[in-house]
Amino acid sequence: MVDGEARAALAAALESVLERMFFIDTGSAAGSEVPDGEVPVRARLTFEGDPPGWLTLEVSPPAARSIAADFLAVDEASLSAGQVEEVVCELANMICGAALSRLESDSNFRLGAPGVLEGRPAPDAAAIVGSADLGNGILMARLKFQAT
Amino acid sequence: MRAFVRRVIEVSGFELSSCFEAGHGGEALAILRREWVDLVLTDVNMPGMDGEEFLRRLEADELLRALPVVVVSTDATAQRMQKMLSLGARGYVTKPFSPESLRAELERTLGVPCG
């Protein structure tokens, strides 16, 4: 798989998911990180396919809360941590599926169930990174394909 | 996602008198054997019984095989869509979707305009 294709697919997936499902016009946040001192809401899912791999998603806490509130149509003040995590997991699921659909248009892939990721994931230079500026925080996705 | 889909259906003007939710195909089958519904929406990837097996079970059930099913999935590959349609799904919506596209697919599947 060509890195450039995967990077473009991930960027397109981020844009389409955020715009269609969350009505967010994304700004480029290339090279940005969630600021130190903020503990992002993290989700991870693995996928089977050709090749298999995983995707992790990190979202700044204020951004995670606002997109969860919009998605669930509830006030931010009434949101539980579990609801925020659930929406970030769903977001990871959609971004991963949208990216893989662009890359594996003729083959089957199968997504695992997304789950909350506790702690900072180990750095992986081979992972493809996509990010978006949500206005009130950063969203960062890392997509990694495993060698088969 | 189920809450979002339900909200789209409600604001689209469909008359939603009852809405049942299930975490996987097995739970859905149990509900369908005791409740009358007009339409089923299902994902493909689910813990327990997945969407493919769910459609096979529906097709094998004389009372349930006529139920219209719309698949809502992140998998936009042609292979997956063809597979689900060949198993009996009447419609297929890929995530991410706009509320308008979901509404249009539900109208097409049910054969009635909403609202």
Interchain proximity B73–A97, CB inside 8 Å: yes
Q: Which residue of B has its CA nearest to A87?
A: B1
| A133 lies within 8 A of chain B by CB | no
Whether residue B80 is contained in a domain is answered as: yes
In a domain, B57, yes or no: yes
Q: Give me the pLDDT at residue A144, please.
A: 94
- The predicted-structure confidence for A52-87, as pLDDT tens digits, reads as follows 999 999 999 999 999 999 888 899 999 999 999 999
User: Is B60 in CB contact (< 8 Å) with chain A?
Assistant: no
Residue B79 sits in a domain whose CATH number is 3.40.50.2300
Q: Please indicate if any CB of chain A lies within 8 Å of the CB of B98.
A: yes
Q: A109 — contact with chain B (CB < 8 Å)?
A: yes
CB pair distance less than 8 Å for A106 and B78? yes
In a mutagenesis test of the B interface, which of A78, A79, A109, A143 is the best target, namely the one with the most B β-carbons within 10 Å?
A109
Task: Count the domains in chain B.
Answer: 1
- B2–chain A Cβ distance below 8 A for any pair: no
Closest CB to B95: pick one of A94, A100, A104.
A94
Assess whether the previous peptide bond of A35 is cis (omega < 30° from 0). no
Q: How sure is the predictor about A32, in pLDDT bands with cuts at 50, 70 and 90?
A: low
Residue B96 near chain A (CB below 8 Å): yes
Q: What is the pTM of this model?
A: 0.86
- Listed as own residue / partner, the contacts of B85-93 with beta carbons closer than 8 Å and 24 or more positions apart are B87/B52, B87/B55, B87/B56, B87/B59, B88/B55, B88/B58, B88/B59, B89/B55
Q: Are the CB atoms for A128 and A38 separated by under 8 Å?
A: no
pLDDT digits (tens, 9 = 90+) for A118-148: 878 777 888 999 999 988 899 999 999 987 6
Query: Is A74 touching B (CB cutoff 8 A)?
Result: no
Stretch A30-37: mean pLDDT: 65
CATH 3.40.1550.10 applies to domain A3-145: yes
Task: Tell me the C-alpha distance between B68 and B85, whole Å.
Answer: 11
**pLDDT over 90, % of chain B:** 57
Structural domain contains residue B8:
yes
Q: Is A20 on the interface with B (CB under 8 A)?
A: yes
Residue from A94, A96, A100, A106 to probe the interface with B (highest B Cβ count within 10 Å): A94
State ipTM: 0.78
**Full domain range(s) for residue B61:** 2-109
User: What's the distance, Cα to Cα, between the start and end of chain A in Å?
Assistant: 12
**How far is residue A35's CA from residue A43's CA, in Å, rounded to a whole number?**
18
Chain A residues in contact with B75 by the CB 8 A cut-off are 97, 100-101, 109, 111
Would residue B114 count as lying in a domain?
no
Q: Which amino acid is at A18?
A: L
All residues of chain A having their beta carbon less than 8 Å from the beta carbon of residue B4 are 21, 71-72
For chain A, the domains span 3-145
Q: What angle do CA A108, A111, A117 make, to 5 degrees?
A: 155
